[in-house]
Structure 1
């Protein structure tokens, strides 16, 4: 009996211990899961606010672009006239017709030493495959072939209607791609996953082929080659970045001039014309409308189909009053004179209503609320609600609207009850690991199937928290640059809230000042801990906004506001210099620097004393020949994080 009792006692003790162990293990598991989910949530918050920073600053840059449009137009026209004379004097052949800037490609010799891809027309799929392989290996297509390709592309596009009609079947599904923005690897990955274009594998590329990325020219070459091979099964829509004014700001102009030094300007002017001939929209089975940006409450497909689209070389336009003011600019007492502006930046051939029709479909974005209003984030187009979408779909008996134009974390997004689809095909858009790209496959049922992807170099080798940290640091760096270039205005506004001159204001006041000055619509309270320091009472030390920033080049004797202005407009100054750099050497002399700055500052109405400009010019480290690499000089003003540990 004792033995039995003893046995029973041991079993009870063992069961109790096992129960306690299981309970502890369960509690530990729950705690680990809770900790893991908390960390994942924190990482996701950091990633999302980082992407919000990138997106907000991108839209703010687009707004600022409009005030410089006419100026860049004048500068580019000024260079073209000189370039035309230079080409003529050097024996190049310039056609006297409407393509006066297009050198006859037959007169350009391809040397035997050229080892890149060679094209012969008419093109076939063998040419396309050879070209893809060459461009994948970063070979450059000879300018003779580029100009011939552009000539043939323009001829074909002129025959296309404003709205392209395509049909699909179960044996011929269509693929729809969004923004690529110069990311060649994304295009190559799409072709690898989805197959090359063909008569049974049609494609629609929905604009924004260029700018921001490093391989915009290669993307255009590939797209134009397939367009010529499969003119009935390969379709291109115009995006808002197929605009020569935007190209000067966002990198495409610089890319072409760098890759094709001798014929760069000729290529650019041919492309300016080609972009204006790109179709504006695509209709799939008369049920799915594909446009780059979106619609408005005044969008009229019948009007769009009738207007002369090639007359819109650019959609960038300043109000007349602003243009008149700019035209009165004088440099050192001598009027600049802007006779070319009227023919370049205005659109006398089209009515304002026709221009607005195109502007809306290239620049607009959907919103959740009903109604249709001006797109203030971008400074152009509209923000349209679900009622506007429903109105257009009902009017034209459509099923859905597919558009691009907006960064999307997963490469696509559905709004307005799935009736508006955004497709974005540039992965790693802001930073490596920031987002996936995607494309749409669609059969006659017109049910979209999304295919996601992401180009990986080092992304797959890094942990999630490492990728988020990189994205966050890059976003904060970009935001701090913007804070720095508005430093004086921020300090003046902070002072209005700090009546006792304590250097401290409330969190609410700090957030209000940041938003009112920077106009970025960011979650400033969430970002507070990353941008400023607070005292024990929770008030913000507003001067700590600038503790983490400085210019890479010390300028103790230079006017501080001049340095801030140079930082703010360094990209625009680079554009101006690219235009006035006749020998395309990338080098600038002290006199050229003064001239560049004075022209630009006079145009913008920036008042800076000659003495301050001279000190700035003298602070530059010129080489033994008295020149400096202008790109390196501007990068020296790039706002950077200080290396020393601020906490220490």
Structure 2
């Protein structure tokens, strides 16, 4: 009995061996938890690195395209100087490209051309506009209704009238009890604007806003964003401020989608720019060459005071296109091809000169929606989330008031795919970026192959990693981490040498005609956006048809300006083959659609080829 009682008493207390075992178990569990935690942190870090690389690809290609856009503006100047000499048969074409058909007509002269039918069930705006119209418009756009062209024109005319009465620089004030909200690029992302208004409230006297330009292009709802902002501006002209971005520009709109969106939703260009018959017999011709003169590009009419000097034009470009960088000084913006890079010393100099504390700007997509640089004196804010691809970046806006530090509000529009695991989202972003990069490579296949072969002195078909990366950067002009990206683009042998032609095995440009040389195919594909803008401008009645003479003449000028070394006979042969019905005209949009990139592995499950 005594032994049993002693045993029970001992059982009430942990024995030394049990304490040691439990301590060891806790230690092992803690070490395991730390190992798992460290692995997970490393795993997320690798995913974030891949995401940053993908964003770098998107941004590098975007900026390279903008370089092409600025080169295109130089082409129009070149064409203006040379076209009459090259094509004396069509002097009216130059007028269509550079003339002005806008006449000083009364507002009602335009609005009188449009009727709002009784069947129209969308929003009906009442002028003068009130807060109710803002709410009405937003609710209608949430229901995916289209604002009738009559009201669009009224808003445009009224906005133009008010803006013309305002100075180029506007001043606003805040107080500790009254903040101001600053938004960056929206780029047609209507859901982002809805979210900003939901979280932050609609514009009002007590809730002022600044929108930092780039309202349009890329997204599908540029017109809706523009109408909401313009109507809000008309209701609160002293409390909603609209700055111009580099995408508030006719030529940018031609490339990046706003013009196409307008024509798709309204087809109203003939009303915005009424047709004017040409002089003489040409006015009586029934073909499209003699029916209209549409104002495009450079305005040639008006007094001298309305024209910008070269210095003024350069100032506007610098304001709209420049970016901050860490390097001191001011030097050319080589990525975009326009504007400049400015360092922290330039920022400090300008702020001190004008007694300013801070510069809040936009114009650059940032992964977190904003970025602070130059010792806190420059803030970049970008409000379009998912800009390049769903899940690619967050959007943000800033609230500021007198005597307080800026407050940043981040968000991301979430759809079904955004609820997928992080590695799946990163795979999708990465796959899209690699796809774009491979299309860039295939458009320069001939040049890349030539550069590779110059490095490959033994004719082995292989290059070192350094040689391959040098050739890629030199030909494509993209400052990318090529060594890190090589595993996605080419195959590498056990010695680390790259089979440089393997980068073209799973992708090629569809050839509309088998006999056409690859160099011509690549050139047309590479410059397809530029060519589409040029020919859309020529196609003033938007019939989609281009005469063979216009086609050949414009190509010769384009080839000369861009130093394209292709024999004219090759292009003429291609043009003849594309004129399927032999009516002397080419459906140019169909012509461009024939040149597209085929990815052989599109149908494969992307997740099978991606490892986190």
For normalisation by structure 2, the TM-score amounts to 0.83
Q: Are the aligned partners of 2:110 and 2:271 in contact in 1 as well (CA < 8 Å)?
A: no
Cα distance in 2 for partners of 1:201, 1:161 equals 22
Matching of residue 407 in structure 1 with residue 365 in structure 2: yes
Match of 2:529 in 1: 571
Cα distance in 2 for partners of 1:25, 1:620 equals 71
Task: From the superposition, tell whether residues 70 and 372 of structure 1 become closer, same or farther in structure 2 (CA, over 3 Å).
Answer: closer
Match of 1:420 in 2: 378
Task: Give structure 2 stretches of 5+ with no counterpart.
Answer: 81-90, 275-295
Cα distance in 2 for partners of 1:527, 1:249 equals 28
Task: From the superposition, tell whether residues 112 and 586 of structure 1 become closer, same or farther in structure 2 (CA, over 3 Å).
Answer: farther
Matching of residue 461 in structure 1 with residue 419 in structure 2: yes
Cα distance in 1 for partners of 2:194, 2:185 equals 14
Which of 624-633 and 414-423 deviates more? Answer: 624-633
Match of 2:279 in 1: none
Deviations 1:488-529 (A, max 9, x none): 111111111111111111111111111111111111111111
Deviations 1:81-133 (A, max 9, x none): 66999x9xxxxxx8732x69996213322222222222231111111211111
Cα distance in 2 for partners of 1:46, 1:67 equals 32
2:482 corresponds, among 499, 502, 524, to 524
How many residues are aligned here? 570
Q: Are the aligned partners of 1:116 and 1:140 in contact in 2 as well (CA < 8 Å)?
A: yes
Which of 49-58 and 169-178 deviates more? Answer: 169-178
Q: Are the aligned partners of 1:79 and 1:579 in contact in 2 as well (CA < 8 Å)?
A: no
Indicate the SS of the match to 1:17: helix
Q: What are the within-5 Å matches in structure 2 for residues 13-52 of structure 1? A: 13-52=17-56
Q: Are the aligned partners of 2:545 and 2:586 in contact in 1 as well (CA < 8 Å)?
A: yes
Q: Are the aligned partners of 1:72 and 1:245 in contact in 2 as well (CA < 8 Å)?
A: no
Match of 2:286 in 1: none
Task: From the superposition, tell whether residues 147 and 340 of structure 1 become closer, same or farther in structure 2 (CA, over 3 Å).
Answer: closer
Match of 1:264 in 2: 269
Match of 2:433 in 1: 475
Q: What are the within-5 Å matches in structure 2 for residues 127-526 of structure 1? A: 127-261=133-267, 263-264=268-269, 267=272, 343=300, 349-526=307-484
Cα distance in 2 for partners of 1:548, 1:195 equals 49
Matching of residue 53 in structure 1 with residue 92 in structure 2: no
Match of 1:323 in 2: none
Q: Are the aligned partners of 2:331 and 2:342 in contact in 1 as well (CA < 8 Å)?
A: yes
Cα distance in 2 for partners of 1:618, 1:5 equals 106
Deviations 1:550-581 (A, max 9, x none): 12457532211111112212222332343344
Q: Are the aligned partners of 1:95 and 1:103 in contact in 2 as well (CA < 8 Å)?
A: no
Offset of residue 588 of structure 1: 7.5
Q: Are the aligned partners of 2:96 and 2:538 in contact in 1 as well (CA < 8 Å)?
A: no
Offset of residue 428 of structure 1: 0.4
Task: From the superposition, tell whether residues 615 and 31 of structure 1 become closer, same or farther in structure 2 (CA, over 3 Å).
Answer: farther
Indicate the SS of the match to 2:508: strand
Offset of residue 375 of structure 1: 1.4
Cα distance in 2 for partners of 1:610, 1:347 equals 43
Offset of residue 369 of structure 1: 2.1
Match of 2:278 in 1: none
Matching of residue 96 in structure 1 with residue 103 in structure 2: yes
Deviations 1:231-257 (A, max 9, x none): 111111111111112221211122222
Indicate the SS of the match to 2:199: helix
Offset of residue 356 of structure 1: 3.0
**Higher CA-based Rg:** 2
Task: Give structure 1 stretches of 5+ with no counterpart.
Answer: 88-93, 270-338
Cα distance in 2 for partners of 1:107, 1:80 equals 28
Offset of residue 480 of structure 1: 0.9
Offset of residue 31 of structure 1: 2.3
Which of 531-540 and 422-431 deviates more? Answer: 531-540
Q: Are the aligned partners of 1:477 and 1:640 in contact in 2 as well (CA < 8 Å)?
A: no
Cα distance in 1 for partners of 2:55, 2:200 equals 28
Task: From the superposition, tell whether residues 238 and 446 of structure 1 become closer, same or farther in structure 2 (CA, over 3 Å).
Answer: farther
Offset of residue 208 of structure 1: 0.8
Which of 519-528 and 581-590 deviates more? Answer: 581-590
Cα distance in 2 for partners of 1:83, 1:518 equals 31
Offset of residue 461 of structure 1: 2.2
Indicate the SS of the match to 1:163: coil
Task: From the superposition, tell whether residues 67 and 24 of structure 1 become closer, same or farther in structure 2 (CA, over 3 Å).
Answer: same
Match of 1:315 in 2: none
Match of 2:595 in 1: 637
Q: Are the aligned partners of 1:405 and 1:424 in contact in 2 as well (CA < 8 Å)?
A: yes
Deviations 1:521-551 (A, max 9, x none): 1111111111111122211111112123212
Cα distance in 1 for partners of 2:109, 2:153 equals 8
Deviations 1:335-378 (A, max 9, x none): xxxx996849x998444333333222221111112212121111
Indicate the SS of the match to 2:112: helix
Task: From the superposition, tell whether residues 165 and 429 of structure 1 become closer, same or farther in structure 2 (CA, over 3 Å).
Answer: same
Q: Are the aligned partners of 1:50 and 1:476 in contact in 2 as well (CA < 8 Å)?
A: yes
Match of 2:116 in 1: 110
Deviations 1:417-436 (A, max 9, x none): 11111111111000001111
Matching of residue 539 in structure 1 with residue 497 in structure 2: yes
Cα distance in 1 for partners of 2:557, 2:466 equals 41
For normalisation by structure 1, the TM-score amounts to 0.79
Indicate the SS of the match to 1:450: strand
After superposition, the CA RMSD in angstroms is 3.8
Cα distance in 1 for partners of 2:342, 2:25 equals 59
Offset of residue 174 of structure 1: 0.8
